Amino acid sequence: MSDGSSDEELSPDWIPYCRRKDWVDVTPLEQDDGENPVVVIAYSEKFKDVYDYLRAIIANEEKSERALELTKDALSLNTANYTVWQYRRDILKALNSDLSEELDYVERVIKDNPKNYQVWHHRRVIVEWMDDPSRELELTEAVLQMDAKNYHAWQHRQWAIKAYDLFDDELQYVDRLISEDLRNNSAWNQRYFVLNHFGFTTEVLQREVHYAMNRIRIVKNNESVWNFLRGLLKQGEKTLDQFPEVVEFVEELYNCGNRSPYLIAFLIDLYEEKSLRPEESNREDYSNKVFDLCKAMANEHDVIRKKYWEYLAERLKRRLTCMNNNDEQDNESNNGTEENMST
């Protein structure tokens, strides 16, 4: 429990600090809530006992083995307490403690509290002190087996990989996660993270585009892989139609009756790009496709964002009007120049 508010935490062999002979030299320091506290939290007896002694230890700046054990008891009652973690680090450093044992302890805490930011931060500091990331990939993999989308585990994993150049086998690991769950957005994000490190060469883009399309063929209504595909296509030439096979693929999906909102959104952006290219001979056809697809999204496939799709259609109309006006001005200017030259 986070606040130790239940006496159920009192184990049969628990001895309060106020009854321990080796703590008689310490005067517990009670929490000061002021004269008229608005809300008084009903802490358990164990919680009050532990934190009263912890406050006294911190006030006296005691850094000892018994103080280290006291922080462990305090953290068992409130794992998210930043002050306790910081003071524990101060003690570890002062005692020149065995940091391998600390990693063992932190691993146990993380597995019981996998979404607690403070314990992950403590882990990172200890790894940095040791300059040894050899256990981090295994730990994060174990945590991700419990919850494949745990943000803290992914953040820690990315930090370790980037800080200590552990990229080599990460694509294989991510591929396994994606195979287990095609909708694992965290795994797709990790794949992009690794690819970005090595660089988006033409060969890599070609390979990954086909990887994404093959996954879309399996689950077409999967936002994660559509976002991944978009991210790839914004590399290289930075256009959605830089690979003809992608255009053929998405148009074939649509023509076969698929109406995934992610597919249609992709087509809208694709056709908008084409309709805004001055050199494109079929600009009007592509713009009409955008208007039709935006209308379909607004009224059928993504009604909750109706206003957004209507906005996209109106924005394209304004852009096209502006382009046409500029074209007319250029034509008038060219005609005037020709007349002056003939005169």
Domains of the chain with CATH codes: 7-97 (1.25.40), 239-326 (no CATH)
Summarised one tens digit per residue, pLDDT across range 110-141 is 999 999 999 999 999 999 999 999 999 999 99
Cβ contact 147:184 at 8 Å: no
Q: Tell me, what amino acid is at 232?
A: L
**For 297, what's the count of Cα atoms within 13 Å in the CB-facing half-sphere?**
25
Q: Return the SS3 of 277.
A: coil
Q: Please name the residue that has the structure tokens 């999967």.
A: 222
Q: Is 115 tagged catalytic?
A: yes
Q: Please name the residue that has the structure tokens 């939290």.
A: 41
- Among the listed residues 115, 162, 234, 317, the single catalytic one is 115
Close Cβ partners of 132 (under 8 Å, ≥ 6 residues apart): none
Q: Which two tokens stand for residue 71?
A: 């922080």
Summarised one tens digit per residue, pLDDT across range 238-285 is 899 999 999 999 999 999 999 999 999 999 999 999 999 999 999 999
- pTM across the whole model: 0.87
